[in-house]
Amino acid sequence: MKILIFSDNHRNRDVIQHMLQQQLPVDHIFSLGDSEMSETELSALNIIGVRGNYPFEPKFPDELVMDFSSVKILFTHGHTYHVKSGRHLLYQAAYYRQCQIAFYGHTHAYRIDEFPEAVLVNPGSLAFPRVGMCRSYALLTIRPTEFQIELVSLDTGECLESMTKPIERR
C-alpha cells in the first residue's frame, strides 16, 4: 500500500499536480492542512484533508487517526501541538493513541524523527519550504512486515531522507 502525504501548498494547485504526476498511482492521499482549498476541491483529487491554521478550511477535522494494514497513523497540521516549539506534545498524542506514525506540517521543514514508540514525520511544504530546504512531500509504503517512509523532493523526484521500520503489532 502506498500513501502520499503533503502539507502547506497554500493555494498552489500546480504543485499538487506536479506531485501527483511523480507518484501516481497511490492508494491514498492526505493533505496536512494549509492547502487553502475547499473540501470539494480536495475530494475531486481523492485527497483527504485536515485543517491547518489558516481560516480557509473550516469543514476539515483538526486531525485524523486511521489504521492501514496494522499501522495506526495520526494526521494533523501540528499547530495545536505547538510543533514549532518542539515535538513532545505531538509525540505524547501519538503515544497515547497507540499510533506508530504521526504526520504533521506547519513548520515547512521536512524531517523524520524516530522515538521509542512512534515516528514523527513532517513532509515539508509543497510551496514554501524553509530556507535551505526544497519543496517536498512524503511517501509511505506499507508492506506485510514493515513500513518505509521517504521524503521526496518535488523539484527532482529524488529521495531526501528515508527510514524503514518493522510493523509492531499492538
Q: In Å, what is the CA distance from 148 to each residue of 1, 7, 37, 92, 167?
A: 11, 19, 29, 22, 10
Query: What structural domains and CATH numbers belong to the chain?
Result: 2-166 (3.60.21.10)
Position 59 scores a pLDDT of 79
Residue 31's Cα: distance from chain center in Å? 7
Position 118 scores a pLDDT of 96
Instruction: Output the tens digit of pLDDT for each of the chain's 170 residues.
Output: 999 999 999 889 999 999 999 998 999 999 999 888 888 889 999 999 999 887 666 778 999 999 998 899 999 999 999 999 999 999 999 999 999 999 999 999 999 999 989 999 999 999 999 989 999 999 999 999 999 999 999 999 999 999 999 998 76
Query: Could you give the angle at the alpha carbon of 32 between the alpha carbons of 83 and 88, nearest 5°?
Result: 25
Pairwise CA distance, residues 84 & 87, whole Å: 8
Let me know: does 140 contact 101? Beta carbons within 8 Å. Answer: yes
Question: Which pTM does this prediction carry?
Answer: 0.95
Pairwise CA distance, residues 60 & 62, whole Å: 7
Residue 165 CB contacts under 8 Å (≥ 6 apart), including other chains = 100, 114, 119, 146, 147, 148
Position 56 scores a pLDDT of 64
Position 69 scores a pLDDT of 84
